[in-house]
Amino acid sequence: MTALVIGGAGYVGSHVVHALLDRGEPVVVVDDLSSGHRETVPAAAHFVQADMADSVRMARVCAEHAVDAALCFAGKIEVGESVKDPRRHWRTNVGGTVALLEGLLDARVPHFVFSSTAAVYGTPEVVPIPDDATERPTNPYGATKLAVERMLGAYADAYPLAYTALRYFNAAGADPARGLGERHDPETHLIPNAIRAALGLRGPLEVFGDDWPTPDGTCVRDYVHVSDLADAHVLALAALRRGECPRAMNLGSTAGSSVNEVIGTVEHLSGKVVPRRYVARRPGDPAVLVAASARATTALGWQPSRSTLDRIVGDALAWHANPLAR
């Protein structure tokens, strides 16, 4: 049994690769290195530089390594970019995943774990958002992830494929002891941007709106530690292999933090001021996204034990002390 990790040189994928290897799982990483980092792939994993849309190559890699499960992290993730330039999100997230599934089905890979997102819900009717809330994405990023989930549902009904879509809320934090952290180019996410502003590695943080209908006027998000997300993938893979995994699950901490609270935590833990300016709202942002992750708790026994804001920001700060983070 070998796990194929597509996008395994990226932020969440690299943490999952390490978590799988920790449990003795043979791992093959596929990454085109368009945004991933080769040096995060440990020597214990076999590395293939390839595009997931190359279905023939994907089928061959699966056959060569006796792959029984694929986990897909590859894709475009920036909400703002998805609004301004949606075709790249549709091409990569939908087109790329459709092609990947061609290869996986041809190779008869029976298990698939898909990185989905809270963005499938759009503006929630109920907070915390339950696992069975109505999906109404408000931006193309969320729409592309929901489209893939729908495709997977049809495929699993028709073909010998069991899958789960893990709907991440805000992946954050790092594993500084392993040199793993969040390194996007350009970086659009709040916590690394706030840290970089505090350390003088960028200009002032832009806070996107202080007139939201939230207690302090800034957006509220559910930050979940990336190592907790990695645990959930390992548990989901085991559940799929047992034949008892739900098709979609939220992965969040059930706690919401505002942008101002995140900034306060960065300032407190770093002892530095986060220079900032308040600007207009970012198109596509909902005011509040907080998860109820009941299904992951019940079906997987998942507990996001590291997902406090102090632990997340503390680990991210420690990662930023690493020269690789610069």
**Mind telling me the catalytic residues?**
141
Q: Does 307 bind ligand UFG (CB under 6 A)?
A: no
Say how far apart CA 211 and CA 34 lie, in whole Å: 36
Q: Does 312 bind ligand UFG (CB under 6 A)?
A: no
Q: Does 228 bind ligand UFG (CB under 6 A)?
A: no
> Alpha carbon 24 to chain centroid distance?
23
Q: Does 274 bind ligand UFG (CB under 6 A)?
A: no
Smaller CB distance to ligand UFG: residue 176 or 192?
Answer: 192
Q: How far is the CB of 12 from ligand UFG (least distance, A)?
A: 10
CA atoms within 13 A on the CB side of 310: 2
Stretch that binds ligand UFG, among 2-10, 20-28, 201-209, 302-310 (CB under 6 A): 201-209
Q: Which of 144, 187, 204, 142 is nearest to 169 (CA)?
A: 142
Buried b (16+ CB within 10 A) or exposed e, 19-28: bbeeeebebb
Q: How far is the CB of 62 from ligand UFG (least distance, A)?
A: 27
Q: How many residues touch ligand UFG (CB under 6 A)?
A: 21
Say how far apart CA 148 and CA 198 lie, in whole Å: 38
Among residues 190, 232, 234, 296, the one that binds ligand UFG under rule CB under 6 A: 190
Q: Does 170 bind ligand UFG (CB under 6 A)?
A: yes
Q: Does 208 bind ligand UFG (CB under 6 A)?
A: yes
Smaller CB distance to ligand UFG: residue 231 or 285?
Answer: 285
Q: Identify each DSSP E strand in 240-301 by its residue range.
A: 248-251, 257-258, 276-279, 288-289
Question: Tell me, what amino acid is at 45?
Answer: A
Q: How far is the CB of 186 from ligand UFG (least distance, A)?
A: 10
Q: Does 285 bind ligand UFG (CB under 6 A)?
A: yes
Return the SS3 of 66.
Answer: coil
Smaller CB distance to ligand UFG: residue 170 or 293?
Answer: 170
Q: Does 88 bind ligand UFG (CB under 6 A)?
A: no
Q: Does 250 bind ligand UFG (CB under 6 A)?
A: no
Say how far apart CA 323 and CA 326 lie, in whole Å: 5
Q: Does 257 bind ligand UFG (CB under 6 A)?
A: no
Buried b (16+ CB within 10 A) or exposed e, 84-122: eebeebbebbbebbebbbbbbbebebbbbbbbbbbbbbb
Q: Which of 202, 200, 300 is nearest to 246 (CA)?
A: 300
Give the angle subtended at the CA of 211 by the CAs of 210 and 212, to the nearest 5°: 100
Q: Does 206 bind ligand UFG (CB under 6 A)?
A: yes
The residues binding ligand UFG (CB under 6 A) are 77, 79, 117-119, 169-170, 188-190, 193, 205-208, 219, 221, 259, 282, 285, 289
